[in-house]
Structure 1
Amino acid sequence: MQRLYEDYLYDTENSKIIAEYESPFFPSNFKYYKEWLYQAPNGKFFLYGEGNGSSPYGCPAYDSGMEAGADLRPLTFDEAKKWYQNTLDKLYRVDDIMDGKDPEPNYPTYCRLFKKNNEKEKE
């Protein structure tokens, strides 16, 4: 998917997947969705997600109900960090986040992306 925001083309094909999250619902459930955190070649973060009608990605349908949809939105560094932290919190309840492999959210990736960059910003 591609989307132009503030004169920059965000493109899922040419960006790196940092992490992905799948909601705890079955794919047949109206609340089901899946999200991917990407980092563009220039270092900008964005979130791409898709889901069923009652998910955060649902769209209005012609019959005044809701249907499946998808969206891409840019994230600031702090928004990407918060999304990653929230995703780690959700996964920590069921999985071991210390030994996860990319693109599964895991603590070593979080430190590499967000703790190092955050320390550099403070200097």
Structure 2
Amino acid sequence: MTSQTLTPARARLNASYRNLTLWTLQGWIAMFFIAAGYAKLTEPLDNLIDLMRWPALAPENFVRGLGVAEIVLALLMLAPVVSWKHGRPLLVVAASGLLLLQTAMLAIHATGLDVGPAITNAVLIAMTAPVLWLRSREAR
């Protein structure tokens, strides 16, 4: 087995590709959760119950509060755009919070046999986990 040493130029190129991929994922995650949070804040509860089953089991204030939390966490995913030094730790916290939220919602959707939302949450977890892992490694 041989080890291959990357040239400095190749290492920078790989880092650029990784950074571009992570920013793309962060943007998609942020867009999804801003839209989902906005819907939870603005749609009548009856519409939300028709779209998803779980709002029927939760108080309206909880559903609205979850919408606020999703929007705030989504915006924090983009915090490094403003300041890389101060935004990167906020990004790691936001990714952790969204991953926790997505895991809980996956469990709720899976136990309620909501296949579509469960698959959506699984895809979101698959997008958020690498962002959290790789960005937290950069923060050290």
Higher RCO (CA 8 Å, separation ≥ 6 residues)? 2
Decide which structure has greater helix share.
2
TM > 0.5: no
Q: TM-score, normalised by structure 2?
A: 0.37
Larger Rg: 1 or 2?
A: 2
Q: TM-score, normalised by structure 1?
A: 0.41
Decide which structure has greater strand share.
1
